[in-house]
Amino acid sequence: MKILLLGCGNIGRYIYTHLSNRHEVTSVDKQTPCPGGFLGNALEVPLGGFDLVINALPGFLGYRASERALEAGLDTIDVSFYAEDPLTLHDVAVESGARYVPDAGIAPGLSNVLAGRLVAEMNNVETLGIYVGGIPEVPVGPLGYSITWSPSDLLEEYVRPARIVREGVVVEVDPLGDVELIQTPLGLLEAFYTDGLRTLVKTLKVRNMFEKTLRWPGHVEKVRLLRDLGFLSTEGDPPPLLVTTRLLSRLKYDVRDVVYMKVVGVGVRKLQYEVFVKSRDGWTAMQIATGSVAVGMTYIIKDLKPGATPLEYVGMSEEFSQRLLNIVKQHGVEITRKIVNNS
């Protein structure tokens, strides 16, 4: 295939490296394109001659970039984390005959696949919980955290109201307002709401659903202080959020990271999937966890119907889910399934 890769940041580089040995991949990036790519505006790059677009841009560019590719009739795998509703691009894709896979990362992304598997495997899911974190193996720096992906998208997690489903009703909650400590294989971590359910609030009929991000204890208190002092505000010239984003991008430490995720379904029984990813071969755990999903979907997208296909639908399909999970496992993503109890 001839693939156009939009963006060559942390995740884009991983995708490029693992696809360019099998496909003709051309990247475009405003700052540093992948080998053989070119500098340019991703919203203006010519789209002719490509079979597939992979959108690995920051969230603030993501929606328009995918919309543009779909309008041109190009199948699109989207890794960007934008604020808009991905399902609003369904009709655009149907009209042009293109296939669209939004939120093809770790969470949202692999979390959706596993949520779909739980719904397919259990007769009834009353509560669906997603816990996920990409963190250094040990706390480091002033926030106990090291940057492994887009700083702007990271900060978006802290300021965007989180949608959860409570007793069948979608409600918005403060992402930093309700923190709990949970025990994980990594030790005690704090968990706070983030807006990662995305398409799940419309596609799954589950009475209670939420996503929580995991960090080392103490992280949320410091981020909350930044927010309360106005450092995450979008008002002003320059907006404080822009300055904070640039400062935060410097918080990259020479420390190994790890990605841990737990997706739990509770009904008559309790079933969970656990995901564990370590850094390897010069790649961070976050690059592997996120990039492997996008890479895996290149082997499946042509078998989908035109329109938007959220990854929970891939998870509900025994065939598609196993194909995708087999590929991400080959990249070093460990996935285990466990029945917690039968009560």
Which tens digits make up the pLDDT trace of 31-65? 888 998 999 999 999 999 999 999 999 988 999 99
For residue 226, the one-letter residue type is L
Q: Is the CB of residue 111 less than 8 Å from the CB of residue 263?
A: yes
Delineate the domains of the chain, giving CATH numbers in brackets: 2-101 (3.40.50.720), 110-285+335-341 (3.30.360.10)
pLDDT at 342: 53
SS3 category, 82: coil
Residue 292 dihedral angles phi and psi, to the nearest 5°: -65, -30
- Rg of the chain (C-alpha set): 19
Chain centre distance of CA 164: 17
Q: Bridge-partner residues for 53, per DSSP?
A: 4, 76
pLDDT at 118: 97
pLDDT at 151: 77
On the question of pLDDT at 219 being above 90, the answer is yes
Chain centre distance of CA 340: 26
Note the pTM of the prediction, 2 decimals: 0.92
On the question of pLDDT at 232 being above 90, the answer is no
pLDDT at 237: 86
Mean pLDDT of 282-310: 97
Mean pLDDT of 331-337: 97
Mean pLDDT of 214-239: 91
Average pLDDT of every residue of the chain: 94
C-alpha 193/C-alpha 53 separation (Å) is: 31
C-alpha 210/C-alpha 191 separation (Å) is: 11
C-alpha 238/C-alpha 304 separation (Å) is: 44
Query: ∠ CA(134), CA(140), CA(142), 5° rounding?
Result: 105
Structure tokens at 178: 């309700």
Q: How confident is the model at residue 297 (pLDDT cuts 50, 70, 90)?
A: very high
On the question of pLDDT at 292 being above 70, the answer is yes
Pairing of strands 127-136, 257-266: antiparallel
As a whole-number percent, the residues of the chain with pLDDT over 90 amount to 80
Residue 229 dihedral angles phi and psi, to the nearest 5°: -85, -5
Q: Mind listing the pLDDT tens digit for each residue in 4-37?
A: 999 999 999 999 999 999 999 999 999 888 998 9
Q: How confident is the model at residue 149 (pLDDT cuts 50, 70, 90)?
A: low
Q: How confident is the model at residue 112 (pLDDT cuts 50, 70, 90)?
A: very high
